[in-house]
Each structure stands twice: as structure tokens, then as C-alpha cells.
């Protein structure tokens, strides 16, 4: 069993939600290789699980994650960091996950914690959430996509502000800037995340996988290529049984029963 995570399965029919709770409370969920290895394994397992439609990653009320583990990084040399590909070597796993991943964020999401949240497909934030890339204060820069995903999410102005001055932004500013999909009261964060996960879990999985894949293309490569890719995926949906079922059910004014085929 993992040492740094709590794993849980919630919600129900037809597809359940895999919940992954980061659990290193003594270090505000600071991220180290052990935690990231466990996270990668848990994500792959959920992705392969036929009963799962959506994955939620969350932390504690106090911290989603306060960044990469500074205790580990403090003594690293350039050679250590480079040869070990510190921490980031197992971050790429998250990008391989084909099912939707929701970050349910309360409290600190700093440095690698903010980057981890941004690697998820959507962020639902409690009003207590704080996002920041304070690496500069430690003599480093963001190393898990912060300089790339943050400007895509909030634009250059706010990204530069956050990365260069280490300013942390609250949930409201993050929502206004487009970093956060939904802003909810802290007390209902987990419920709201489960509701969003259920809304995804009710949909036909093949279409969900294609939709996530296509939206991600919007951030990679030229527009024309993304549009062409989307069109092929769109056409491919007509090879699925769920397309027939979804449309037949609509026309018959009944509820669809998806088989994810």
C-alpha cells in the first residue's frame, strides 16, 4: 500500500471515481520521488480500471501540495539534479493518463504543487486555495511545466508576475484569470469535485477520452493540425455504439444506457 497517498473509490453507477489523496501532512504534501512514484502508479491503475470513469487528485484542507520537497532539493548538485532528472522523471506519467483528472485544491498549491494541479485536466478550487510559483525565492525556477502551463492558463502578464515576484494568488483571482474551472466554498470542495466527476462518469467513455485528447491538442502544435485532429476524432465517434445509443435515446426521449463501446 502506498505510504504517501490515500486511495479510495467513490460515486457509483455507471462509472465510479478514483480518489487519490496526497497524504504527507507533516510536510504539507511536499512532493518527493516516493510520493510521485506512488501517484504515477495509482493513476495508471485507475486509468486501466474498467469501472472508473474519472480520477480526482486532492490534498488536505491546508495544502494541496506546498511544492517539491525542499529538504531533498537543498543538497542536490547540478549533476545530481540532471542525472536523476529530479522528481520530474515520473511526472510525465500524468500526461499519459487518458481519463479525465480533476484537481480538487484547498490551501497551498505552490511550486510543484501548482504545477501538479495544472497538469490535471481541470482545477476545482476551494475559496482557501492559494496558487503560486515561489521557486525564485529558493534560487531555482519552476521545473515541472510552470513557465509553460501557467502563461497558457493565465496569460503572460500574470504568469510573469507570479514567476518573477513569487506572488501567490488566491482562489478568486485564479478563477478570474482562468486557472481554475470552478470556485467553491471550502466545506463543499470534495462534494463539488465528486459532482463534476459524476457528470463525467455518466458520459460515454470513448467520447470522453477523445474529447480530452482533442482539447489537449489545442496546446500543442498549430491550430490547423488541431482542427484536423479533432475532425478525425469526431468522425471516429460514429464508429461507436454509444453514439448510436446516445442519439437514439435523445430521439426517443428516453435516457441513454451507455456501454462504453
Residues of this chain that interact with ligand HXC (CB under 6 A) are 27-28, 30, 66-71, 87-88, 108, 110-112, 134-135, 138, 143-144
Residue 71 or 155 having the CB closest to ligand HXC: 71
- The catalytic position among 16, 18, 115, 146 is 115
Q: Given the complex with ligand HXC, which of 110 and 153 has the nearer CB atom?
A: 110
Task: Judge if the upstream peptide bond of residue 14 is cis by omega within 30 degrees of 0.
Answer: yes
Q: Which three cell numbers stand for residue 15?
A: 462509472
Annotated catalytic residue: which of 40, 107, 112, 201? 112
The nearest distance, CB 68 to ligand HXC, in angstroms, is: 4
C-alpha cell at 62: 491546508
Report the nearest approach of ligand HXC to the CB of residue 77 (Å). Answer: 16
Q: Determine if residue 42 is left, alpha or beta; phi over 0 gives left, psi from -120 to 50 gives alpha, anything else beta.
A: alpha
> What is the C-alpha to C-alpha distance for residues 126 and 171, in angstroms, rounded to an integer?
7
**In contact, 164 and 106? CB cutoff 8 Å:** no
Q: How far is CA 216 from the centre of its chain?
A: 12
CA quadruple 43, 45, 46, 47: dihedral sign: positive
Q: CB-wise, 68 or 94, nearer to ligand HXC?
A: 68
50 catalytic residue (yes or no): no
Catalytic pick among 68, 103, 171, 174:
68
Distance in angstroms (rounded) separating the CA atoms of residues 25 and 242:
43
Active-site residue among 53, 106, 129, 135?
A: 135
CB of 27 to ligand HXC, least distance (A): 4
CB of 133 to ligand HXC, least distance (A): 8
* Residue positions annotated with a catalytic role: 68, 112, 115, 135
Amino acid at each position: 500500500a502506498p505510504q504517501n497517498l490515500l486511495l479510495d473509490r467513490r460515486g457509483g453507477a455507471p462509472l465510479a471515481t478514483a480518489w487519490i489523496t496526497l497524504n504527507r501532512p507533516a510536510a504539507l504534501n511536499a512532493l518527493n520521488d516516493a510520493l510521485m512514484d506512488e501517484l504515477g502508479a495509482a493513476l495508471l491503475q485507475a486509468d486501466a480500471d474498467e469501472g472508473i470513469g474519472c480520477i480526482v487528485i486532492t490534498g488536505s484542507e491546508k495544502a494541496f501540495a506546498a511544492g517539491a520537497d525542499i529538504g531533498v532539493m537543498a543538497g542536490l548538485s547540478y549533476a545530481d539534479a540532471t542525472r536523476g532528472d529530479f522528481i520530474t522523471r515520473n511526472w510525465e506519467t500524468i500526461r499519459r493518463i487518458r481519463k479525465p483528472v480533476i484537481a480538487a485544491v484547498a490551501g497551498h498549491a505552490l511550486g510543484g504543487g501548482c504545477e501538479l494541479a495544472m497538469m490535471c485536466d481541470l482545477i476545482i478550487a476551494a475559496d482557501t486555495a492559494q496558487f503560486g510559483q515561489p521557486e525564485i525565492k529558493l534560487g531555482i525556477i519552476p521545473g515541472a511545466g510552470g513557465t509553460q502551463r501557467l502563461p497558457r492558463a493565465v496569460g503572460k502578464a500574470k504568469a510573469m508576475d507570479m514567476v518573477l515576484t513569487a506572488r501567490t494568488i488566491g482562489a478568486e483571482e485564479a478563477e478570474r484569470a482562468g486557472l481554475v474551472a470552478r470556485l467553491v466554498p471550502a466545506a463543499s470542495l470534495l462534494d463539488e469535485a465528486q459532482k463534476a466527476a459524476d457528470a463525467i462518469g455518466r458520459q460515454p467513455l470513448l467520447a470522453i477520452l477523445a474529447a480530452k485528447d482533442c482539447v489537449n491538442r489545442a496546446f500543442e502544435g498549430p491550430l490547423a493540425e488541431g482542427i484536423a485532429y479533432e475532425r478525425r476524432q469526431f468522425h471516429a465517434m460514429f464508429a461507436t455504439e454509444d453514439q448510436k445509443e446516445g442519439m437514439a435515446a435523445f430521439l426517443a426521449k428516453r435516457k441513454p444506457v451507455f456501454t462504453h463501446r
